[in-house]
Amino acid sequence: MNKKATDQTIYNCHIHLFTFDNVPRNFPVPGIGFIRSRPKLIRFIRRVVKFFGGHETADQIERLARMAAEGRSATPERIFNNVAKQYPKGTKFVVLPMDIHSGGYGAPKQDLEGQHDALWQLTQDGAYKDLLIPFAKVHPNNPNAMTELRRCVEDKGFKGVKLYPRLGYAPTDDLLRNEVYPYCIKHNLPVLSHCSRGGVFGRYHRGEVGQMLGSPQAFFPVAKEFPELRICLAHFGGSQEWDDYVRGINPFDADARKNNWVTAIYDALKSGDYPNLYTDISYTVFDFEENMPFLSVFLENEAVCKKVLFGSDYYMTKQEDLSERAVSMRLRNALGREKFWQIANANPKAWLEGPSKPKT
């Protein structure tokens, strides 16, 4: 690690700027759109639940209300301003769109192409141009998936691809293997995939089956088949798997360690068998007091430390009590300067840009 690095830019490798205009009104169930668009109604429901003794449920509803208020923001620009002010000037952000419609739900007010265009337009603003790193969302069920990916990359200058297998497809899907992954390698595009049991889900892929579509084990064959493809498995396995890991892994169960998503990713990074496999700590690190000591120990392994990316998952994190600024500052304090800059600067650049080429 280079303690004398001159580039002090922080890279947040995982944020969202989509609004409720990009979310189908029938997701996840019919009628929810009416409630979701009314934070005051959500808080009224919270007060009723709390009155009848459901304090824990009431707290969860309050968190959803905060996220709902953010999602109702008029434009991606407003959401970006809310997150950017919590970081030092010049911080760069990887922006990840969402395509829930292709997961089997109704059409949103603004389709994926419109969402991509709005993101591209924001990158053209002089104040934001060098701060936003836009990724294109790909879903194999979208018949225009490759056409839209080419438009985003070749016409708009997008820098990577976002996948969300829980919305109804395997990482080994034919379109991905035959077209998307080779395209990414050819155009030097990194891939980020949701890798957590939590999150959104395909209409017909709820429960364990849908969860396993986005598991680390589902991606390891891809990393083997396409060793040049730079893949980030987001969330380092996700909050539920971290909770299971913190409670303990049964040493007498031969499959327990490989079936836990946290240890599966950790062991894969440590092994060196997947030279371009990464993970990020988005959302997971917001359970700071519980997870931070374990993350700090994980990063003591040099091979793992070089493959972990800083990310927050804003604005999903509006559900949590800690702010972006509080988490990033606590993270830097807990890890120390050297490791913090490794995961917030050196590693993101390696993942985004690929191997440095010798100067001619």
Minimum mean pLDDT range among 146-150, 288-292, 293-297, 349-353? 288-292
Minimum mean pLDDT range among 37-46, 186-195, 299-308? 37-46
pTM, 2 dp: 0.87
Residue 78: pLDDT over 80? yes
Q: Which two tokens stand for residue 105?
A: 């739900």
> Does residue 65 contact residue 39 with C-beta atoms inside 8 Å?
yes
Residue 326: pLDDT over 50? yes
What integer pLDDT is reported at residue 3 of this predicted model?
Answer: 44
Residue 15: exposure state from Cβ atoms within 10 A (0-12, 13-18, ≥19): buried
What integer pLDDT is reported at residue 61 of this predicted model?
Answer: 46
Q: Which two tokens stand for residue 310?
A: 């800083």
What is the residue type of 21?
D
Task: Round the average pLDDT of the chain to a whole number and report it.
Answer: 86
What is the residue type of 49?
V
What integer pLDDT is reported at residue 32 of this predicted model?
Answer: 54
